[in-house]
Amino acid sequence: MHRIVFLDRDSLQARVRSPAFAHDWQDYPGTQEDEVVARLAGATVAITNKVPLRAAAIERLPDLKMVAIAATGTDNVDLAACRARRIAVANIRNYSLVSVPEHCFALLLALRRNLAAYMDDVAAGRWERSTRFCLLDHPIGDLAGSRLGIVGYGALGRKVAQLGRAFGMEIAATARAPLNEADVLQLPLDELLASSDVVSLHLPLNEQTRHLIGARELGLMKRHALLINTARGGLVDEAALAEVLLGGTIGGAGFDVLSKEPPDPGNPLLRLRLPNFILTPHVAWASGGAMQTLADMLVDNIEAWAAGQPKNLV
């Protein structure tokens, strides 16, 4: 009989069905890294969303046979250590193809139309004191006719492009392989940054992509350009971003992710109080529909592995 342990059940606010094979199930609302070994003692299957599974812990878990990641990102699991022990690792793919792109455009629209600044004006009573029927103190831009640059043209990047087309935007993208879409302009990163009115990031975080967007890259962007990140916080040098936002050398940024989560109080983006910067607490993925899809796919992965036909292995 398999023993399954979910280390951070509260990270998934959806119904998780019972796997269709004999098993013992234990879940915890959350788990600290120093509690991992004790809680996984005797477990054959570990489920984790964001709880780290490092090599030192994996070496002390002789019964562990599978790690089911309740997310797409795998940077919290030591994959090399799992391979060395022949531990199967599966993740969840393409479950948030509606939720993340919609959040991306929520950030984009709020920034382009200066909603935060106008909401602050209304809250401060400035509209009530106005001599005109409206306030026009902050510039408002349209999306139609502007260029949307997508960095990472996978499933999410393509869905963002689809929404961009609906708003009348021109689509440019970076991608490792040649693109076969006639209406997508494939560009190297530097050219995409320099020519786009909006840059949206859709890459995994690894050693090749960490701080992909730093001071030099931000310096290439147009003065009115927006940077949207609903992917991974470590893709962007946060100190460099804070500096250009304070200096007014790009138009604004909308972020749903930070390099460490929960963030350290000293993170420079937390201290920003600017109408052209929006920070949300890693919720782009978390619509009710997306979370239920994730929960169903999570159990699908475990059942497939138990049946000897594993899928979504990383």
Residue 57 C-beta-side C-alpha neighbours within 13 Å: 23
CA distances (Å), origin 211, targets 9, 177, 229, 302: 30, 22, 12, 34
Sole residue written with tokens 């949307």: 148
Which is the catalytic residue, given 9, 112, 202, 282? 282
Q: What does the alpha-carbon distance between residue 276 and residue 110 come to, in Å, rounded to a whole number?
A: 9
Residue 282 catalytic? Answer: yes
Catalytic-labelled residue, pool 232, 238, 273, 303: 232
Q: What's the confidence (pLDDT) of residue 75?
A: 87
Residue 211 is a catalytic residue: no
85, 261, 271, 273: the catalytic one is 261
**Is residue 29 a contact partner of residue 8, using CB atoms and an 8 Å limit?**
yes
Task: Measure the CA angle with vertex 14, ends 10 and 16; round to 5°.
Answer: 95
CA angle at residue 222 from 227 to 119, to 5 degrees? 55
Q: Tens-digit pLDDT profile for the chain (314 aa)?
A: 999 999 999 999 999 999 999 999 999 999 999 999 999 999 999 999 999 999 999 999 999 999 999 999 898 999 999 999 999 999 999 999 999 999 999 999 999 999 999 999 999 999 999 999 999 999 999 999 999 999 999 999 999 999 999 999 999 999 988 998 999 999 999 999 999 999 999 998 888 999 999 999 999 999 999 999 999 999 999 999 999 999 999 999 999 999 999 999 999 999 999 999 999 999 999 999 999 999 999 999 999 999 999 999 99
pLDDT value for 180: 87
Residue 292 has which token pair? 């239920």
Angstrom CA distances, 172 to 8, 148, 156, 181, 209, stand at 38, 6, 14, 11, 19
pTM: 0.89
Dihedral angle at the C-alpha atoms of 76, 82, 87, 88, nearest 10 degrees? 50
Looking at residue 188, its amino acid is P
Whole-angstrom Cα distance, residue 198 to residue 143? Answer: 9
pLDDT of residue 23: 96
Q: Which pair of structure tokens corresponds to residue 54?
A: 């490092």
> Which structural domains are found in the chain, ordered by start?
2-95+289-306 (3.40.50.720), 99-279 (3.40.50.720)
| 261 carries an active-site annotation | yes
Cα 244 to Cα 219, 268, 301: the distances in Å are 8, 12, 43
3-state secondary structure of 264: coil
Q: b or e along 274-285 (b: 16 or more beta carbons within 10 Å of the residue's beta carbon)?
A: ebbbbbeebebb
Instruction: Look at residue 73 in the predicted model and tell me its pLDDT.
Output: 86
The C-alpha torsion from 35 through 40 and 45 to 48, rounded to 10°, is 0
If you count them, how many residues does the chain have? 314
Contact 253, 245 (CB under 8 A): yes
